[in-house]
Amino acid sequence: MWPNKFDYVRAGSVDEALSSITDDGKFLAGGHSLLPVMKLRLDAPEQLVDIGRIPELQGISANGGLTIGAGATHDAIATSADVQAMCGALASACGQVGDQGVRNFGTIGGNIAHADPASDPPTVLVACGATVNIQGADGSRSVGAQDFFVDLFETDLKDGELITSVSLPNCSDCQCAYVKFPHPASRYAIVGVAVCLKMDGGACAQADVAVGGATVKAVKCAGAEAALAGTTLDDAALNAAAEAIKSDISDWLAGDIAYPESYRQQMAGVFLKRAVAAAQG
Amino acid sequence: MSTRIFGSGIKRREDPRLITGEARYTDDIKLPGVLHMAVVRSPYAHANIVSIDSSAAEAMDGVVAVYTSEDIGDGLAGLPTAWLIPDSDLKTPEHPALAKGKARYVGDGVAIVLADDRYRAQDAADAVVVDYEELPAVIDPEEAAGEGAPLVHDDVEGNIAFRWVMGDREASDAVFDAADVVVSERILQQRLLPTAMEPRSAMAQYNPATQELTLWCTSQNPHIHRFIISAVTGLNENKVRVIAPEVGGGFGSKIPCYPDEALVSWASIKLGVPVKWTETRSENYLITIHGRDHVQHVEMAAGNDGTLLGVRATVYAGMGGYLSTAAPGIPTILHGLLYVGPYTMGSVFCESIGVMTNGTPTDAYRGAGRPEATFLLERMVDNVAREIGMDPVEVRRKNLIPAFEDGYEVATTLIYDSGDYPAAFEKALDMAGYGDFRRQQKSAETQGRYLGIGVTAYTEMCGLGPSQVAGAVGFQGGLWESATVRVTPTGKVQALIGASPHGQGSETTLAQIIAEELGFPVDDIEVIHGDTTETPMGWGTYGSRTTPVTGAALAQASRKLKEKARVLAAHLMEANVDDIEYADGSFSVKGSPDQAQSIQDVALMAHLAWNMPEGMDPGFEESQFYDPPNFVYPFGTHIAIVEVDAETGVIDLQRYIAVDDCGPQINPEIVAGQIHGGVVQGAAQALCEGAIYSDDGQLLTGSMMDYCMPKADMFPNFELGETVTPSPHHPVGVKGVGETGTIASTPTVYNAVLDALAPLGVTQIDMPLTSAKVWSAIQDANGGGS
């Protein structure tokens, strides 16, 4: 409720933001992850550099693939016709973040920089092969979403670096879905499963699968993918994938007092099946 | 005759200001020169306080003072426990406003910081260095009562604060020994966090010149707060004014007088400036009372034909680190006396053991003792039904007390006022389509779908209550209410009440009672409450008592006024009083209807006093003290229908039917609102709410991220029904309805889920029924296979 004292700077450009940030500073975008922890005094940055109004970080563009500005809000992504067409699972995930008030303020850049393991968008970004575009004092670089998320609340982002945008391949010829089992208290994911299926006739040519919520970070699930690929997604394949996904995530499990790791691990299998059904529906 | 205002579902007059954010709560009140108080709180559940170093904090900008228990000395007496239950060997350990030498729960106050700004106060509180020596902690009440448990208070041997016994143990044993069937269960009534929308807040302003203290605070009972603040500060009671401005919900959690209210008062007296404190939600979860926390060992005896013979229970009730204001009365008087419920069962026995633990103090939470009783009773009835292979509805139907209109004495010695339990029961079953449901349930099971139904018949005691009974059970106060109906010369009404509503809609319903009695338009009636200087004495709003008790006081005060008006009207119209007829706020002479005096005309003439009858005093105002002759006993039947997803353990509450009888409904919309809120709160105990502590006493559900508040999308539209059985002893026949939903819904939803799980072999799961627990229970019942 009562944050520690901090300095506040509003940046007008990415360059200004990068030159303003101090060692004990943090970038502030929508503030819906950062401000609550500051109010609880779990974090106490001495400086906030507000990047919420930087024009370069805004907007969603479609040009072969999708480029989503780091400052795009969850609501903007969820309601974007381009995102809905090219990656419906991401639109769905962003539409399930928090409540409408949170979605109106919270941004994709802030969301992935915070790297809450139970948040929805990272799971889809990992499944769909997104790229995170980053700028720092020494220039810009890009990193795959799978490598971007390192561990619990930990990313590949270095001090002083800023996420500028997220790119996604055009997934419009895939069947993709994000299915979430919300925690009854927080409505974060107990488990969230994203699938992206490339179908060839009745068979699944390629499956991309990621899990969040049940894990300390969004995890790509190679075992489940292999179990689905090359099948007609029949019950035997789904059962095999549901078993495989439990192994895929076994090194990364997370839980809480009410919904322990073991339960979430089992539910990953259940929700994989539901995600595949949703993708095909 | 116009539409009766009594019984009309007019809109709550409170709502516009609440919905638009214009309501003024304690924290909204700004005083110049106010100091903000932050409290340094123990991070340990049980620890000796070795030393406190406040030097760094005191040196910080804006900090005026840092005080510890030592600084307060005897400036504040310990906070009293105000329900001293008799014959229970009750111990009331000292409850200092700041911990003396030892902290007894996480959040126990250790020091206070006063600063010119809330942020600076918090910064300084963080800079107070306290050296603790951590001690072993105990949270589970049954464990705390066991051998070798850490001692919370040196002067409470074995941590047992009281041992209260109801009934005759030998007689009970004889019934159980002779019974065909005895079922038993260990029931956990988990801790609940009341979570009023408005956190607690207190601001004190002491005027050294007049030696008067004004305390604005989040109180359900400002007159009790005045009484206690006077006692702990030593100020004369007539020098203390307590104001409860808008209060954003309480559910019992704003009944007690807490250390924080005493501390702002003391600090304001000490420094001569206003002092304010408002808790954060994190603090609210740590320090504002919790509810429930029982470990119950329950047995029920029955005949093979389904006749219920007796119930007996040993209850370990967690009291937390200190005995809160009303705490001892909750798991005893308000609990055991409900053990018969709506049944003809002849034998009851309860041993309730109040146990000190290192948890947050517990006290009254919506229903207060009665939900815990109704749950165990209804759970055991279902267990009996399962044991003897009888439909649980048949067992209930067989044992319901037949209809009665004026008094029915039960084995707990209570005399229920009136009831027609079978009528409400059959109505609810009709609404639910019970027979059809059982057929659907069977056919669903063949498709691997698990549906369940829970049926609860209940009655409860509320409208607390006769003061003579309060005295007999050790409640350190009366339980009457008083009210003044004051009519201005222009015929507008101020109704001043001692009770202190905080969201119930009483400003509307009480105005409806007065409008009904006196004929004033309801919009011309203001109900004024929440200020000990403005309002007459009253004991507060809790225990579903404001409509039954304050409502009765207002009805009787109104009737006195009406009688005065009749005599004055007769005098003004030069008629015989016996010839005066009254209708719709107008007095006329029998046979000459064109000659009439409106209630407003009479009020004006009473104020002018130009032409009064011999012996009649001027003015148009009456007061009434009302002490109810008995409790009121609302009752009804609730039914829940659920489906459990066996793959995930997720429960879908599909239908909820509530048939409640609270006597004649003054405002059906408000009654429905009370039932909706109550059902949600009670169902949430079954489904999702529960405070969890680590073994060392850290609250793991310290925010709404982990503590699962119910949400609207978890519930279907409720199907409400009613029967109307007036209370024979109440002036307008009404009973309370503030807690019925909470009392009935927990076992209803729980039993529905366990009914759904019966084919899977699951017979017991501790609340709350999270999907993880349900899923695990299914796995365990299947022998571990998934």
Kindly list the domain boundaries of chain B, sorted by start residue.
Answer: 17-135+197-249+254-287, 291-400+407-464+630-781, 480-626
Q: Determine how β-strand A131-136 pairs with β-strand A139-144.
A: antiparallel
A185 vs B688: CB contact, 8 Å cut-off?
Answer: yes
Nearest CA in chain B to A259: B772
Q: Number of helices (H) and strands (E) in chain A: give both, helices first.
A: 12, 14
Nearest CA in chain A to B280: A1
Kindly calculate the radius of gyration of chain A based on its CA atoms and give it in whole angstroms.
19
Spell out the SS3 assignment of B139-206.
CCHHHHCCCCCCCCCCCCHHHEEEEEEECCHHHHHHHHHHCCEEEEEEEEEEEECCCCCCCCEEEEEE
pLDDT tens profile B429-452: 999 999 999 999 999 999 999 999
Q: Which residues of B touch A257 (CB under 8 A)?
A: 692, 700-701, 706
Q: Residue A53: helix, strand or coil by DSSP?
A: coil
* Element spanning B595, H or E: strand B592-598
Determine which of B190, B283, B706 to mutate to test the interface with A (most A C-beta atoms within 10 Å). B706
A2 vs B648: CB contact, 8 Å cut-off?
Answer: no
Q: Determine how β-strand B450-459 pairs with β-strand B635-645.
A: antiparallel
Q: In percent, how much of chain B has pLDDT > 70?
A: 99
B281 vs A1: CB contact, 8 Å cut-off?
Answer: yes
B685/chain A closest Cα distance in angstroms: 13
The Cα–Cα gap between B648 and B772 comes to 8
A186 vs B775: CB contact, 8 Å cut-off?
Answer: no
Q: Residue B343: helix, strand or coil by DSSP?
A: strand
Q: Look up the pTM and report it.
A: 0.97
Nearest CA in chain A to B700: A257
**Residue B377 clears pLDDT 80, i.e. is over it:** yes
User: Do residue A139 and residue A225 come from a single domain?
Assistant: no
Taking residue B157's Cβ as centre, other Cβ atoms within 10 Å add up to 11
How does the average pLDDT of chain B come out, rounded?
Answer: 97
The contact set of B with A (CB < 8 A) is: 118-119, 122-123, 126, 280-282, 647-648, 687-688, 692, 700-701, 704-709, 711, 714, 770-772, 775-776, 786
Looking at A136, A151, A168, the residue that finishes a domain is: A168
Query: Do the domains B480-626 and B291-400+407-464+630-781 match in fold?
Result: yes
**Residue B785 clears pLDDT 50, i.e. is over it:** no
Read off the CATH number of the domain in which A30 is found: 3.30.43.10
Residue A158, domain member (yes or no):
yes
Nearest CA in chain B to A191: B648
User: Do residue A190 and residue A229 come from a single domain?
Assistant: yes
B772 vs A4: CB contact, 8 Å cut-off?
Answer: no
User: Do residue A118 and residue A155 come from a single domain?
Assistant: yes
User: Do residue A161 and residue A186 come from a single domain?
Assistant: no
Token pair, residue B1, equals 């005759």
Q: Which residues of A touch B704 (CB under 8 A)?
A: 185-186
**Residue B771 clears pLDDT 60, i.e. is over it:** yes
**Residue B3 clears pLDDT 80, i.e. is over it:** no
**Of the CATH numbers 3.30.365.10, 3.40.50.20, 3.40.50.850, 3.40.50.300, which one belongs to the domain with range B291-400+407-464+630-781?**
3.30.365.10
Q: Which residues of A touch B688 (CB under 8 A)?
A: 184-185
What was the pLDDT predicted at B1?
43
User: Do residue A42 and residue A87 come from a single domain?
Assistant: no
Taking residue A262's Cβ as centre, other Cβ atoms within 10 Å add up to 15
Which of B31, B83, B197 shows the shortest CA–CA distance to B473? Answer: B83
Kindly report the CA angle at B300 between B304 and B90, in degrees rounded to 5? 160
Residue A137, domain member (yes or no):
yes
Read off the CATH number of the domain in which A196 is found: 3.30.390.50
* Element spanning A280, H or E: helix A261-280
B772: nearest CB among A2, A3, A263: A263
User: Do residue A145 and residue A231 come from a single domain?
Assistant: no
User: Do residue A146 and residue A197 come from a single domain?
Assistant: no
User: Do residue A214 and residue A151 come from a single domain?
Assistant: no
Nearest CA in chain B to A260: B772
For B549, which DSSP code? I
Alpha-carbon dihedral sign for residues A199, A204, A205, A210: positive
Where are the alpha helices (H) located in B272-361, listed in sequence order? Answer: 281-287, 333-336
Which of B519, B512, B524, B585 shows the shortest CA–CA distance to B551? Answer: B512
The Cα–Cα gap between B426 and B435 comes to 12
Residue A1, domain member (yes or no):
no
B775: nearest CB among A2, A3, A263: A263
Token pair, residue A61, equals 């563009």
Is A231 exposed, middle or buried (CB count within 10 Å of its CB: 0-12, 13-18, 19+)? middle
Q: Which residues of B touch A1 (CB under 8 A)?
A: 280-282
Spell out the SS3 assignment of B473-486.
CCECCCCCEEEEEE
When pLDDT is averaged across residues B452-471 and rounded to a whole number, the result is 96
Q: Which residues of B touch A258 (CB under 8 A)?
A: 692, 706, 708, 770, 772
The C-alpha torsion from B374 through B377 and B380 to B386, rounded to 10°, is -80
Q: Which of A200-204, B119-123, B455-459 has the lowest mean pLDDT?
A: A200-204
Q: In percent, how much of chain B has pLDDT > 90?
A: 98
Token pair, residue B607, equals 């104020």
**Residue B783 clears pLDDT 80, i.e. is over it:** no
Q: Residue B409: helix, strand or coil by DSSP?
A: strand
Nearest CA in chain B to A268: B648
Q: Which residues of A touch B282 (CB under 8 A)?
A: 1, 40
What CATH number should be reported for the domain whose range is B480-626?
A: 3.30.365.10
For B669, which DSSP code? H
Evaluate whether B339 touches B380 at the Cβ level (below 8 Å): no
When pLDDT is averaged across residues B121-138 and rounded to a whole number, the result is 98
A5 vs B119: CB contact, 8 Å cut-off?
Answer: yes
Residue A2, domain member (yes or no):
no
Break chain B down into helix, strand, coil percent, rounded to 5.
35, 25, 40
Token pair, residue A85, equals 């067409």
A184 vs B126: CB contact, 8 Å cut-off?
Answer: no
The Cα–Cα gap between A196 and B733 comes to 65
When pLDDT is averaged across residues B770-777 and rounded to a whole number, the result is 98
What was the pLDDT predicted at B537?
97
Below-70 pLDDT ranges, chain A: none
What was the pLDDT predicted at A41?
94
CATH superfamily of B17-135+197-249+254-287: Aldehyde oxidase/xanthine dehydrogenase, a/b hammerhead (3.90.1170.50)
Which of A183, A117, A185, A98 shows the shortest CA–CA distance to B703? Answer: A185
Q: Which domain holds residue A248?
A: 175-280
Q: How many CA atoms lie less than 13 Å away from B673 in the CB half-sphere?
A: 15
User: Do residue A20 and residue A75 come from a single domain?
Assistant: no
pLDDT tens profile B577-591: 999 999 999 999 998
Determine which of A179, A259, A263, A273 to mutate to test the interface with B (most B C-beta atoms within 10 Å). A263
Q: Which residues of A touch B118 (CB under 8 A)?
A: 2
Q: Which amino acid is at B162?
A: F
pLDDT tens profile A227-272: 999 999 999 999 999 999 999 999 999 999 999 999 999 999 999 9
**Residue B786 clears pLDDT 50, i.e. is over it:** no
Q: State phi, psi for B437 to the nearest 5 degrees.
A: -60, -45
B772: nearest CB among A1, A3, A258: A258
The contact set of A with B (CB < 8 A) is: 1-5, 40-41, 181, 184-186, 188, 256-260, 263, 266-267, 270
Confidence at B667, pLDDT banded by 50, 70, 90: very high
Q: Residue B384: helix, strand or coil by DSSP?
A: helix
The Cα–Cα gap between B482 and B571 comes to 30
When pLDDT is averaged across residues B141-166 and rounded to a whole number, the result is 98
A185 vs B706: CB contact, 8 Å cut-off?
Answer: yes
Where are the alpha helices (H) located in A138-234, listed in sequence order? Answer: 145-148, 222-228
Q: Name B523's Cβ contacts closer than 8 Å, sequence gap at least 6.
A: none
Q: State phi, psi for B318 to the nearest 5 degrees.
A: -75, 125
- As for the ipTM of the complex, it is 0.96
A/B interface, count of CB pairs below 8 Å: 55
Looking at A18, A35, A50, the residue that finishes a domain is: A50
B119/chain A closest Cα distance in angstroms: 6
Biggest CA–CA distance in chain A, Å, is: 60
Nearest CA in chain B to A6: B119
Evaluate whether B662 touches B641 at the Cβ level (below 8 Å): no
Looking at A118, A146, A168, the residue that finishes a domain is: A168
The Cα–Cα gap between B244 and B256 comes to 13
**DSSP class per residue in A95-134:** TTSS-HHHHHH-BHHHHHHHT-TT-SHHHHHHHTT-EEEE
Nearest CA in chain B to A118: B705
Q: Determine how β-strand A7-10 pairs with β-strand A47-50.
A: parallel
User: Do residue A136 and residue A71 come from a single domain?
Assistant: yes
The number of domains in chain A is 3
Is A235 exposed, middle or buried (CB count within 10 Å of its CB: 0-12, 13-18, 19+)? exposed
Nearest CA in chain B to A186: B705
